[in-house]
Chain A
Amino acid sequence: MITPHLTRPLICLRSDDRSSVGGKAASLGELARAGLPVPAGFAVTTAAFGHALQAIDPGGAIPRRVGGLPADDGGAIADVSAQARSSIVDAPLPARLRDEIADAYRALPHAAGLAAQAGDVPVAVRSSATGEDSGSASFAGLQDTYLWVAGADAVAEHVRRCWASLYSVESVTYRRHQGVPEDGLAMGVVVQVMVDPRCAGVLFTRSPVTGDPSVIVVEASWGLGSAVVSGVVTPDTYVVSKVTGEIVKREVATKLRHHQRSPSAPGVCTRDVPPALRDVPCLQDGEILALADLGRRVGDHYGTPQDVEWAIPGGGAGPQPQIALLQSRPETVWSRRAVRPAAAPTSRAFDHVLHRLSAPGRGAAP
């Protein structure tokens, strides 16, 4: 029997690996393999989760009890899911798994091209769901993402926390309502070198406002991209033409808040942006164009419009912007709309002009 991998380097993964590492890890692996600037990292596989759960709950008590909960019994769901979470968080990892995660973690600085560091490299630990509900499960975003985790033991602990998020009240309630079976539940985890961003945000390979497929729209704000995603700040907006490569619009917003590394425990806090930075554009032209180029490459790779989370680390500003690609998801709003032609050929080309000049004006003109 072939022993399944417990961890896999992201660079070895592709979209097809969704069932073995979860959607987020598979997607990041796919992008990394395509040569896109995904921070180095590894996935803890669903097999690793199964392996650990086998040790924690050999008799299958957890799925049995959760599976028996009525969807509308909030009290029972709260009790049972809390017990499930604590049994997952509290149990030490099986030795083989613990060692493999520690080895993969220690290999990260090398994989990331970092110089051998004195201390432990900080990483982000995120859940990577496999189910159909991965979209809604990861939507809230922050609860199963842990930032600035450092040290092999801490990584192992946060991997368990990610697994435990499978048994959050929201997730359990959702599954009970949808009638999703509890047997065979699985979750992957992504461990990636932490990017400490000067600024971050989202880019859209099709305008989210107008649906224009010929532009890339970049939203950017200071600090972590979670501030943009969660809407605590009005970001700068830059629009770049995919065809001419020109920056066709710059809207510099007054950015009042940003998400920063929490000074205490691993995590994030919301702070006021220093007044001197509020009205300053967070991106230079070169960075805007590099982001647009990144968007074009991601869009071309998938062949469909994408919403892409990115970050630019602070510190040593070199001539080439160091952009990190954090996540890419298919655009859904405009892609779902029915495609209707804006115009159709006429029997004679100039009929277009005759029709236009015979119709009352519409206000648009050169």
Chain B
Amino acid sequence: MDPGGQPRSFQLPSAIEDVPGAENWRSMYPYFTRFQPGDDERFWFYNSMHFPEPMPAFDAITAEIPYTAIGANTTRVFVLPTTLGIEHRIVNGRVYITAIPVTDPEEIGRRAAIFNERAGYYYQNWDRLYEGWKARIADLIGQIEAVRVPPLDEFEDPRVVTESTGVAQNHYVRENFHRCIDLFSKMWHHHTEFLMLGYGAYVVFFEFCKSAFPEISEQTVARMVAGIDVIMYRPDDELKRLARLAVESGLADEFPEGCDPDAVLTRLAERGEAGREWLAAFDAARHPWFHVSTGDGFYHHHLSWNENLAVPFAALTRYVRQVSAGETLERPTSKLLAERDRIAAEYRALLATEEDRGAFDQMLGVCRLVFPYVEDHKFYCEHWFTTRFFQKIRAFGELLVGRGVLEEAEDVFHLQHYEIDQALADVMLAWASGGEPLGAAHLRPIIAERKWMLEVLRSWSPPPALGPVPEALNDPAVQMLWGITQDTIESWYSQAGSGNEREVRGYAASSGIVEGTARVLRDVNEIGQIRDGEILVCPVTAPSWGPVFGKIKAAVSDIGGTMSHAAIVAREYGMPAVVGTGQATARIRTGHRVRVDGDRGVVTILD
């Protein structure tokens, strides 16, 4: 209740109005994503961490499938005692979510008995199971890479006859498209298999440290846990290695700032042995290390480095310059490791009792056990697999272009995957009948309208939360995966009212205070706009933004926790960062002078 006795509430879902010009947004998403009348009774929050932009119709699959997978694991597989799964709704193109809690103590007890057995099995066999996981996920990646889009040549391959396969290739249009969707679903089941157990270990250690050292910063706790040799650093490390090779081979002059990657590669082929050796090293690095998304795997336009070489080349040219200037660019891994262990040892020594030290060792040990999964799964899942997945869907888009249904391959992402099914059936029928597919007349106006609506929806600033302010937020999934606590909600609530218009508050993710000019980037493809010394303001802190950290002097994000990759990178670069602000990109404009206070988690707009 607020002081006036009114129940405290954010805007109700039913009170949200359609954005003018995009009233038909519902046509883009399945019926089960719409807010229902009863949803006004529940608390929802905008999942800007994963979905910072309006959802193209196809991309809504990156909500649908992950939530089928994580819910299966929490509700049915591991039977988490206090939470079921996540429900999601889309309004004006934005994804809102809520967790279904379990509150009945008897029910919690019944679930806990099963949970303890199953989760215990995983922890006891973690390393073996994680090795198995890596083999399984590699197999899934192999399968998605192997998916073929039938060319639909005029006449069938003679082997269909000579080997008597009995099935013509138009059949495989649907089967292989379904295979993509099915593999994406399996990937997400794998992604969420270890997720809650991994983050659970973190939360336990965080909470213990907070109770023993009430003033410890979350970033310091994170530093005790962090692995040093994690796979997510590899793509960047590869660029540094290539930069060193370029300088050693006397090729540095081929990498001027702002160079065109294709032109550089062409010229290097003409630079004799040294050029060819560098190109060979480059090709070796591209697979798999350039299968890294320029976003974090939730949008089709988050291309991989391989598809958008401008992104790695932006970093590469800078590294070449630095190596030429005599910098080593080595991450001092042994130093970082020693520092991590020193910090942990000193906190341990400050604990009051031997019992505390015993518990500390156990909890830290579990964190370090789960760390490889927590840090590395993103590379396999969101990056490598997902960029390959979108490439395959794009290939189906090309098929539809080839059959005259779509104008361009990217248009396929403006159709729901259920609608693509229909478009492909249309093509399969036409190929079989020798007639023409009917899709162009039907789909092109729909796609044109959706492209327009997405642009319009971009202008809408989604409220960070909807529905009644919860009395107590106690869902472990929401806390662990989204870093949202009762404090977050209170801060949203106070800012929704008459909060300080010049202040944006979030988590203090990396300490220090700087002032500078803001550069708001809503999309990683705009990464080229950032200028040296600017302050990055972005919706989400994603690993692939790594190269930009050499240029900026502070980072601000809408959502992200202390363990988000950008928070870690900001700490490594020693620059202030405030993450999880909920609304930095909505309230800060490019060109604003801002002060980023990474000690208190406050961003102040100075003009």
Q: Give the CA-CA distance A353 to B484 in the complex, in Å.
A: 19
CB neighbours (8 Å) of A215 from chain B are 213, 215
Q: Give the CA-CA distance A248 to B119 in the complex, in Å.
A: 36
Q: A250-B600, A343-B208, A354-B119 are in contact. Are A207 and B202 (CB under 8 A)?
A: no
**Which range contains the number of B residues in contact with the other chain?**
35 or more
Q: Which of A2-10, A239-247, A262-270 contacts B (4 or more CB under 8 A)?
A: A239-247
Is B151 in contact with chain A by the CB < 8 A criterion?
no
- Interface readout for A209-243 with B: 1 if CB under 8 Å, 0 if not? 01111110000000000000000000000010111
A248-B473 in contact (CB<8A): no
B352 in complex: contacting residue of A339, A344, A358, A360, CB < 8 Å: A339
Is A364 in contact with chain B by the CB < 8 A criterion?
yes
The chain B residue sitting closest to A349, CB to CB, is B362
The chain A residue sitting closest to B217, CB to CB, is A248
CB neighbours (8 Å) of A207 from chain B are 214-215
A363-B115 in contact (CB<8A): no
Q: Give the CA-CA distance A356 to B218 in the complex, in Å.
A: 19
B210 in complex: contacting residue of A242, A247, A358, A364, CB < 8 Å: A364
Is B485 in contact with chain A by the CB < 8 A criterion?
yes
CB neighbours (8 Å) of B207 from chain A are 356, 362, 364-365
A357 in complex: contacting residue of B200, B215, B217, B351, CB < 8 Å: B200
- The main secondary structure of chain B at its interface with chain A is helix
B358-A344 in contact (CB<8A): yes
Is A352 in contact with chain B by the CB < 8 A criterion?
yes
B343 in complex: contacting residue of A243, A339, A344, A358, CB < 8 Å: A243
- Interface readout for B351-391 with A: 1 if CB under 8 Å, 0 if not? 11101101111110110000000000000000000000000
Is A75 in contact with chain B by the CB < 8 A criterion?
no
CB neighbours (8 Å) of B472 from chain A are 361, 363
The chain B residue sitting closest to A345, CB to CB, is B358
CB neighbours (8 Å) of A360 from chain B are 82, 103, 108, 474
A353 in complex: contacting residue of B204, B212, B350, B563, CB < 8 Å: B204
CB neighbours (8 Å) of A359 from chain B are 82
Q: Give the CA-CA distance A357 to B115 in the complex, in Å.
A: 9
Within 8 A of A (CB), among B377-414: none
B353 in complex: contacting residue of A212, A339, A362, A364, CB < 8 Å: A339
B355-A363 in contact (CB<8A): no
CB neighbours (8 Å) of B217 from chain A are 241, 246, 248
B213-A214 in contact (CB<8A): yes
Is B480 in contact with chain A by the CB < 8 A criterion?
yes
B81-A345 in contact (CB<8A): no
Is A341 in contact with chain B by the CB < 8 A criterion?
yes
Q: Give the CA-CA distance A366 to B487 in the complex, in Å.
A: 12
The chain B residue sitting closest to A214, CB to CB, is B213
CB neighbours (8 Å) of B81 from chain A are 357-358
Q: Give the CA-CA distance A350 to B473 in the complex, in Å.
A: 24
Q: A210-B215, A248-B599, A364-B207 are in contact. Are A354 and B362 (CB under 8 A)?
A: no
CB neighbours (8 Å) of B500 from chain A are none
Query: Which 10 pairs from chain A and chain B are nearest by CB?
Result: A361-B474, A365-B479, A345-B358, A350-B123, A349-B362, A343-B359, A210-B214, A341-B355, A358-B112, A212-B215
